[in-house]
Amino acid sequence: MEGEKTMRKESRIVVAVDESEESMHALSWCLSNFTAKNDNSTNTTLVLLYVKPPPPVYSSFDAAGYLFSTDVIGAMEEYGKELVHSVMERAEAVYRNSVTDVNIEKKVGSGDAKDVICHTVEKLGADTLVMGSHGYGFFKRTLLGSVSDYCAKNVKCPVVIVKHPKQN
């Protein structure tokens, strides 16, 4: 059995997840189409990648001239952590319900989503990148669709762009 295991082809699929339902649908699609049909000849690892926005550089005053208190900054950072936790929990619910035998790894990056996704895909030597088609993140911190556009152009491996069925 050990011998068999070493013969298995390694496959690493990065799934970019965020707060959107679309990215959860992309994960679900990936589980159904890539891994459910796993015939034991491939050892598939799904890397769930969530990218937090970079730590903000707070100016002492906001646009209206109010000073941010450390309480507010602390609360925002706490909210960011909760967001990561919440996204990963939702992702877990998606893959727990699937019938696939697949390894799951979770990664949290920080920075510009499109750069972090491309960099991670390259660093891991991923075989496929799966992502939703729309803006990345609750705060719509990038223009609609621009992250998936950018990644499709810049990563070297095949990219799967999945749309939410509600948009159909």
Binding site for a copy of itself (CB under 8 A): 29, 33-34, 36-39, 42, 128, 133, 145, 148-149, 152-153, 156-163, 167-168
Q: Which is nearer to a copy of itself, 88 or 157 (CB)?
A: 157
Smallest separation (angstroms) from a copy of itself to the CB of 76: 33
Q: Which is nearer to a copy of itself, 29 or 68 (CB)?
A: 29
Smallest separation (angstroms) from a copy of itself to the CB of 161: 5
Q: Which is nearer to a copy of itself, 67 or 144 (CB)?
A: 144
Residue closest to 160 by CA, chosen among 7, 19, 46: 46
Where helices occur in 21-139 by DSSP H, the ranges are 21-30, 70-96, 113-124
Smallest separation (angstroms) from a copy of itself to the CB of 168: 4
Smallest separation (angstroms) from a copy of itself to the CB of 30: 9
Within 8 A by CB and 6+ apart from 123, the residues are none
Cβ atoms of 155 and 116 within 8 Å: the answer is no
* Cα maximum dimension of the chain: 67
- How many helices (H) and strands (E) the chain has is answered by 5, 5
Q: Which is nearer to a copy of itself, 77 or 122 (CB)?
A: 122
